[in-house]
Amino acid sequence: MLSMFRILDLTWVLGGPFAGQLLGQLGAEVIKLEPLGGDLARQVSRHGMEFQGDPGFFMSVNRGKSSVAIDLKSDAGRKVMHDLVRESDAVLYGFAPDVPARLGLDKDTLHAINPRLAIAQLIGLHDASPYADAPAFDLVVQALSGIMSVTGERDGPPVRVGYQIADLAGGLYLALACVGAMLKSLKSGQGELVQISLLDCQLALLTWQAQNYFVSGEIPHANGARHPVIAPSDIYPCLDGKFIAISPTGQHFWTVFCTAIDRPDLANDERFASPKGRVAHVEALTAILSSEFRKRTSVEWSENFFRQRVPAGPVNNIAEALDQPLAKLRNMVEEVEHPRAGGSMKFLGNPFKYAAARPLSYPPALGGDTRAVLKRVCRYDDATIDHLIQQLVLSEGAKP
């Protein structure tokens, strides 16, 4: 789908690299430009969570990329970067707002080199003082956005989402922004700079919670797994101690659900006969259902509900989620050979399903593609590359 596009990924750690990997999963060529010391993510999770020396954190968001190690603080390094820009379609970066100009990566400079270049910039909070230099780690963004206030149990303390939703959602928006800017360039021949803020993305994801607040003035609060305006829509412990999630929304599914749990009488109970009634009497309904669900195991309930097309499913842990038949059926677990050390490793699969989709290659070694990329893209000869390496402008990383 994006096989004709070349993208330079200057991001690091999680959100930005996730965007680059998504674009790779859509077929783009993604060249990861790293400082000579490498992406900080290469140093994360190095205590029992690595494979053949590669940290799992880095591996999770850097598949399918080439790695060029380059010193962008040097004049020669910026010259190499500009030569790559001239032959590319887009640049992703996540520098502090004042850094691009210092590195010669600002919009005016890059568009003077390549007028059709798409530039997708990821920032934390805002691009002007006093917020421009404020650290914007995932937990801080979750806190500022309000999402922690609606996560967790009612009357309990605020709770962070279990994975880095601020960073990863920012990466999703960044990838979409990059594609949009490239489409504009295709139509108009004119490049665009589009900026994504991690905080903006989290506020945007508030969607109906924010709209309900605008309409009613009522501030949403945490409600555990229970839906605030739909009942029943919650999780319940089963005979085996595991949980089942059910959400029979609408009268049809409510009636089918009542039959499936052998309680057709609930469908005619005046307290639960309408959606509003079920919400108004949710505590009474929860007590009844909690008693019913303890009569069978989560597997028995799940199989029963699946047969009768009731919206329900077991509450899986990570291992169970990755091992479930659907994950395998959808090719959401892939096995990839290590190109340098031998052996293979499982990775998450490609969520984009299209005819030309292929598994992404193993994450790159630091600077492992420096020479090949510069010869192919910039048409440098070996002598030029050797000179830049000797001058500590480029690095080919450790040899296998």
Place of tokens 């490049």: 191
Residue 301 token pair: 């309930």
Query: Catalytic annotation on 200?
Result: no
Report whether 371 contacts 78 (CB < 8 A): no
Report whether 395 contacts 36 (CB < 8 A): yes
Euclidean distance between CA atoms 341 and 51, whole angstroms: 10
Euclidean distance between CA atoms 170 and 188, whole angstroms: 27
Place of tokens 């790695």: 67
Among candidate residues 54, 167, 234, 369, the one labeled active-site is 167
Q: What is the set of active-site residues?
A: 167
